[in-house]
Amino acid sequence: MVDRAAGVLIAVGRMTSAEAWDVLRETSMRTDIKLRHVAELLVEWGRTGALCADIRTELDRQLAQRRPAPMPGPEADGPLAGPWTT
């Protein structure tokens, strides 16, 4: 079950398996919910879109910490433009 939950995090958070494991462990510790139960909740979230508030809040925090900072430059100042946009 933990591997499935890591897969959900890899897909949603665009992270490595090691980062997904860290997110699972940190979420478990900070919410005081056993790792296996956190994993079950995340797999269910992947199926239904429903996630309890305390896990969602901590997951949002964990993902925000791991997002790369935006790169400086013109593309950081506005929407992307190019031949693929109209």
32 DSSP assignment: T
- What average pLDDT score do residues 9-21 get? 90
- pLDDT recorded at residue 84: 45
* Residue 85 forms part of a structural domain: no
pLDDT confidence band for 12 (50 / 70 / 90): confident
- pLDDT recorded at residue 68: 63
Q: How far apart are CA 49 and CA 70, in angstroms?
A: 28
DSSP-derived secondary structure for 2-26: HHHHHHHHHHHHT--HHHHHHHHHH
* Residue 51 forms part of a structural domain: yes
* Residue 84 forms part of a structural domain: no
Claim: this prediction has a pTM higher than 0.85: no
* Residue 21 forms part of a structural domain: yes
* Residue 86 forms part of a structural domain: no
Identify the domain containing residue 10 by its residue range. Answer: 2-66
Number of domains in the chain: 1
Residues 60, 64, 66, CA angle at the centre, nearest 5°?
125
* Residue 56 forms part of a structural domain: yes
Q: How far apart are CA 74 and CA 63, in angstroms?
A: 25
Tens digits of residue pLDDT in 49-84: 899 999 999 999 988 887 765 556 555 555 544 454
* Residue 75 forms part of a structural domain: no
- pLDDT recorded at residue 19: 93
The count of residues in the chain is 86
Tens digits of residue pLDDT in 18-61: 999 999 999 999 999 999 999 999 999 988 989 999 999 999 99
* Residue 53 forms part of a structural domain: yes
H or E segment to which residue 85 belongs: none
